[in-house]
A and B are shown apart, each in its own frame.
Chain A
Amino acid sequence: MQKKLILDSDLLTVTIHRLCQELIENHGDFESTVLLGLQPRGIFLAEWIKTKLTSIRKKEIPLGYLDATFHRDDFRRRDIPAKASETRVPFLIEGKKVVLIDDVLYTGRTVRAALDAMIAFGRPEKVELLVLIDRKRTRELPISADYVGKYVNTLDSQRVLVELDADRKHNTIWLINKE
């Protein structure tokens, strides 16, 4: 298995910092903004961004977890049903600005399902998408991200592996060639 490093720990910290600054540019004091991390892997990134924003803005910024499993369009088209994770949205999103956060943007189908799932909690004023890695020219739906950590050229046979550490010291992002 061939592995290629896309982002190392130091660069990743810089990237996260830039993404936070971009969010602050557009959302100011986060008066009516909420963050929604997409299960299962977007929540670690969302936690990181929330912690960072909280320390910069000196205020608590609401963060929820959203699982889109029951809204996926490939149910009954795969052998086994996808396993759901926890959804926790402890606030109303009616009239709020929502930032959806995920680690990798690939076909766009998860994001479509997430938009669908999100509507069950109200009608937001505006929805934005933040991703760490945007795989270029792989979209199957007209979806694009508003905030991107890094654009990467990939093949369908490749996989992006995001390894985020609990203490955020040893984070790496790899591009892997499948066998």
Chain B
Amino acid sequence: MPRLSQPHLLGIKNITRDDIELIFETADNFKEVINRPIKKVPSLRDVTIANVFFENSTRTRLSFELAQKRLSADVINFTASTSSVKKGETLLDTVNNILAMKVDMIVMRHASAGAPHFLSRHIKANIINAGDGTHEHPTQALLDAYSIREKLKTVKGKKVAIIGDILHSRVALSNIFALKKLGAEVLVCGPPTLMPKYISHLGVKVEWDLHKALAWCDVANVLRIQLERQQLKYFPSLREYSLYYGITKKTLDKLKKDIVLMHPGPINRGVELSSDAADSHHSIILDQVQNGVAIRMAVMYLLAGAQS
């Protein structure tokens, strides 16, 4: 049955493999839609969606907003920095106020892990998690896996290395869940200080040496060094990080095979990826961005359509 098992998209952990396949198949159709001369369909024209962002975001929010407009939904945007949150309103009050204006779906980003899960227990609208703290970022993981599927035909059996700041990365955690559910092998690679203690319990390999990780993988998903989350010093300097974990064209040329290079953006050019690597033929970074719109259209279409 073409229906998601959940009324919300809180995390990849909560959804099934069938859900992911259904989202991918629906995204295939939307990818065709966004390449038409007229890129808009009227499916969600009586649906109102609020984008509630308690944390900064450019591309995720743009991508969601574009997806909503392509589906003809009505969109309202809410940013914490310009709102009553500053005056001391609670999360639940804020969201209930928005819902009182007859909003059907909430896309939320929040700095605290579990914030969308908490909300889903108290309100009726569909909730999409657009990133909660260092916990999950499900639509990013879906579009990453979708981009791998597009480039390599399948995700099953592929070897994917996630490289960089695993400790602070919600992208890494969601990616691990999604890739494992789709049958890929996953390896995480980064400095020991940026590696969560029990990460291997999730069924992933752990590697400290970048060159070994690259030699092993078919796909390298390179994460951003999140400078804003590093109050403590996890490594001596950016220069040292980029010496040990930065990927350059030279590193890629040394490999005896072609690997696919991904990055969720925004890139710190010269830190985790050099410019010549980011712009090389290995990179599918801009395909990821385009697929992001199709994936988000699919998720919102399936969630909005499931209620009678």
A71 touches B42 (CB 8 A): yes
* Chain A neighbourhood of B304, CB < 8 A: 75-76, 81
Tell me whether B306 is interfacial, beta carbon within 8 Å.
yes
For A93, the closest partner residue in chain B by CB is: B37
In the complex, are the beta carbons of B1 and A80 less than 8 A apart? yes
Chain B: minimal CB distance from A131 (Å): 24
The closest CB in chain B to the CB of A74 belongs to B305
CB atoms of A71 and B2 under 8 A apart: no
0/1 interface trace, chain B 294-308, chain A, CB 8 Å (1 if under): 000000011011111
Interface flags for B277-308 (1: CB within 8 Å of A; 0: not) read: 00000000000000000000000011011111
Residues of B within 8 A of A82 (CB): 2, 305
Residues from chain A with a CB closer than 8 A to the CB of B40 are 120
Chain B residues contacting A92 (CB-CB under 8 Å) are: 37
Cβ contacts B250-293/A at 8 Å (1 or 0 each): 00000000000000000000000000000000000000000000
Q: Which of A65-117 contact B (CB under 8 A)?
A: 67, 69-72, 75-88, 92, 116-117
For residue B1, which residues in chain A have a CB less than 8 angstroms away from its CB? Answer: 80
Given contacts A70-B42, A81-B3, A86-B29, contact A76 B37 (CB under 8 A): no
Smallest CB gap from A67: residue in B: B29
A77 to B46, CA, bound (A): 11
Which residue on B lies nearest to A122, using beta carbons? B37
Chain B contact residue count (CB 8 A cutoff): 27
A116 CA / B39 CA spacing, docked (Å):
13
Interface residue? B93 (CB, 8 A):
no
B32 within 8 A of A: yes
Least Cβ–Cβ distance between A150 and chain B, in angstroms: 32
Interface of A is mostly: loop
User: Which of B36, B37, B42, B306 contacts A81 (CB under 8 A)?
Assistant: B306
CB within 8 A of B29: which of A69, A78, A119? A69
Contact A84 B36 (CB under 8 A): no
Q: Is A151 an interface residue (CB 8 A)?
A: no
Instruction: Name the interface size band of chain A.
Output: 20 to 34
Near A by CB (< 8 A), chain B positions 203-244 give none
Interface residue B47 (Cβ < 8 Å from any Cβ of A) = yes
By a CB distance below 8 angstroms, the chain B residues around A121 are 36-38
Q: Which residue of A lies closest to B297 (CB)?
A: A70
Question: How far, in Å, is A63 (CB) from chain B's closest CB?
Answer: 17
Q: Which of B28, B36, B307 contacts A76 (CB 8 A)?
A: B307
Contact flags (1/0) for B19-38 with A, using CB distance below 8 Å?
Answer: 00000011011001100111
Q: Which residue of B lies closest to A81 (CB)?
A: B305
Find A119's partner among B2, B28, B38, B305 (CB 8 Å cutoff): B38
A residues adjacent to B (C-beta < 8 A): 67, 69-72, 75-88, 92, 116-117, 119-122
Known: A71-B43, A81-B301, A82-B305. 6 other contacts (CB 8 A): A70-B41, A75-B43, A75-B305, A76-B308, A80-B306, A120-B37
12 contacts between A and B (CB under 8 A): A70-B43, A70-B301, A71-B42, A81-B306, A82-B2, A83-B25, A86-B32, A87-B32, A87-B33, A88-B32, A116-B42, A120-B41
